[in-house]
Amino acid sequence: MKKARAHFPTIPTIAYEGPKSTNPLAFRHYQPDELIDGRTMSAHLRFSIAYWHSFRGTGADPFGPGTICRPWETGADPISVAKNRLDAAFEFS
């Protein structure tokens, strides 16, 4: 059973639609289940993300304070905030 998408509820899972797709949020060439040399594309091409910049950073730079407010950065204590952040990161992947 899949867990409900709590942090990104309006973003659907991005699917393969082929090279003629006009959908900007679709894979045109990456088909996760396609076999290449005995392994799936998803095994060959594992996506990654910079955790700090995507889930922790506030957008601060030498010219001013951060402006990014992340909805998962809420909680009663640091541990609950960290758990919310991890839930968001795993949901994103």
Which stretches of the chain drop beneath a pLDDT of 70? 1-4, 93
Report pLDDT digits (tens) over 35-44: 999 999 989 8
The pLDDT, as a whole number, for residue 30 is 92
The pLDDT, as a whole number, for residue 2 is 58
The pLDDT, as a whole number, for residue 22 is 96
Count of H-run helices and E-run strands, the chain: 3, 2
5, 62, 74, 93 from 8: Cα distances, Å:
6, 30, 16, 11
The pLDDT, as a whole number, for residue 4 is 67
Q: Is the dihedral of CA 91, 54, 51, 65 positive or negative?
A: negative
pTM of the shown model: 0.60
